[in-house]
Amino acid sequence: MARALPKQARPPVSAGALWLWGALALMGLALILWRFVGGLGAISNLNDGRPWGLWISLDVYSGVALASGGFALTAAVYVFGLKKYYPVVRSAVLSAFLGYLMVVAGVAIDTGQPWRLWHIMVFWNPQSPLFEVGWCVMLYTAVLALEFSPEVFKRFNMQAPLGLIRAIEIPLSILGIALATMHQSSLGTALLLVPYKMHPLWFTPMLPVLFFLSAIPVGLAAVIAESALAGKPGNRRTELSVLSGLARALPYLLGLYLVVRFGALAWEGKLGLLGHTGEYDLLFWAEVSLGFALPLALFCLPRVRRSRPALFAGSLLVMAGVVLNRLDSSLVSLTTRPGFNYFPSVEEFLVSLGIIAMGVLAYMAIDRLIHQPHSSY
């Protein structure tokens, strides 16, 4: 019988990858600093013709969706008792926590006076959906930090706080699920405020439902992609049966989304628009076919669910489809005021890449710091 590798026997991250992520992070940080010195106009093409640009659409709308694996997995394990998926809870919660920190960073960079972000907690405007989003994001980020804290307490042998967190683990998970559910859907609610600025293929009163329905599968897909990528020989491997189980749920979730999406178009009499809107048709079918229909078909195949590379590829399709949907909904389909044009600057793209790079480096550093064999459930 082959001897199990000790927990220290993990292949080091390639120097090239570290240099690449490090360079992107430093470049992004430099541009962020220059943004605060020179103002938004110093590095962005943002103007008064539209409410937001790339940072909100990519870092916030897409980032919140990609970080939804935390609440999806905690619901599966702690609420529904699916203990089989406990091995991926820690990585899902860590990814979600860092993802939400990146979302907060995106909002801070886009806001004219980011040092006043805390005002939303004191000066209430309950009639605004963004008020609810802001509250939930801040509170859920704190909940994620608490949910991940047992790993830190175990690493440094802090038994008293560890016992306290363990005692409130289930109520804490339920609170996190409630907060995540609220703001995942409320991001769609915010777009209901601009019915005449969105293209009709994306605007629907069902946007809050569609945003929530797409957040669950993309969260699971992000967890599968991360775990499948990490499952290299000699590295900490997540059992393939765990990933296959998550993948088995995706066709149902993706199918439900497609039924609601096309059902809303039919109910609102918009099916006739398909094939008559030029480039918007291409964007619509790209996100629906490549990001939802194709992975639905792939994950129905047992041989796909038994292959780590296939699981990784299928999960990337889901992630790309939902990101494209968020960009289409919150950026591409929004009209700009007459006399204004907006296309993101190179610096805006580099800032977003820099934020992602910082998140990746933070994940690798924290994961290696607290790495230890999974404890029993």
Write out pLDDT tens, residues 30-84: 999 999 999 888 999 998 888 889 999 999 999 999 999 888 888 888 888 888 8
Q: Are 211 and 187 in contact (CB under 8 A)?
A: yes
Interatomic CA distance for residues 240 and 306, integer angstroms = 7
pLDDT of amino acid 195: 86
181 or 347, greater pLDDT? 347
Residue 4 scores a pLDDT above 70: no
Query: Is the residue at 38 inside a domain?
Result: no
Find, among 215, 236, 305, the residue nearest to 90 by Cα.
Answer: 236
Write out pLDDT tens, residues 108-135: 999 888 888 888 888 888 877 778 888 8
Read off the tokens for 345.
Answer: 């600057």
Q: Helix, strand, coil proportions of the chain in percent (round to 5)?
A: 75, 0, 25
Query: Is the residue at 25 inside a domain?
Result: no
Q: Among 8-17, 49-58, 314-323, which range has the highest average pLDDT? A: 314-323
pLDDT of amino acid 1: 37
Interatomic CA distance for residues 3 and 5, integer angstroms = 6
**The domain that contains 309 carries what CATH number?**
1.20.1630.10
pLDDT of amino acid 31: 96
Residue written as token pair 């190179």: 346
Average pLDDT estimate for 139-163: 89
369 or 345, greater pLDDT? 345
pLDDT of amino acid 299: 96
Residue 376 scores a pLDDT above 80: no
SS3 334: strand
Query: Is the residue at 371 inside a domain?
Result: no
Query: Is the residue at 349 inside a domain?
Result: no
pLDDT of amino acid 322: 95
pLDDT of amino acid 117: 83
Residue written as token pair 């000790």: 6
DSSP 198: B
Residue 373 scores a pLDDT above 80: no
Q: How many domains does the chain have?
A: 1
Read off the tokens for 200.
Answer: 């009709």
Which residue range(s) make up the domain with 271? 52-335+355-361
- In a 13 Å sphere around the CA of 305, the CA atoms on its Cβ side amount to 17
135 or 252, greater pLDDT? 252
pLDDT of amino acid 91: 86
- Residue 311: pLDDT band (50, 70, 90) is very high
Query: Is the residue at 44 inside a domain?
Result: no
Residue 6 scores a pLDDT above 60: no
**Phi, psi (deg, nearest 5) at residue 25:** -65, -45
**Mean pLDDT over the full length of the chain:** 87
Query: What number of other Cβ atoms are within 10 A of residue 360's Cβ?
Result: 19
pLDDT of amino acid 124: 86
- Residue 358: pLDDT band (50, 70, 90) is very high
Query: Is the residue at 98 inside a domain?
Result: yes
Query: Is the residue at 367 inside a domain?
Result: no
pLDDT of amino acid 98: 92
DSSP string computed for 132-190: HHHHHHHHHHHHHHHHHHHHHHHHTT-HHHHHHHHHTHHHHHHHHHHHHHHHHHHHHHH
Write out pLDDT tens, residues 266-290: 999 999 999 888 889 999 999 999 9
Amino acid at 270: K
193 or 262, greater pLDDT? 262
How many percent of the chain have pLDDT more than 70? 92
pLDDT of amino acid 280: 92
pLDDT of amino acid 372: 52
Query: Is the residue at 36 inside a domain?
Result: no
Average pLDDT estimate for 224-230: 79
How many percent of the chain have pLDDT more than 90? 50
Interatomic CA distance for residues 161 and 20, integer angstroms = 37
Read off the tokens for 196.
Answer: 């005449």
Read off the tokens for 94.
Answer: 């860590």
Give the C-alpha distances (Å, rounded to integers) separating 108 from 59, 236, 336, 351: 11, 35, 23, 12
Interatomic CA distance for residues 152 and 1, integer angstroms = 34
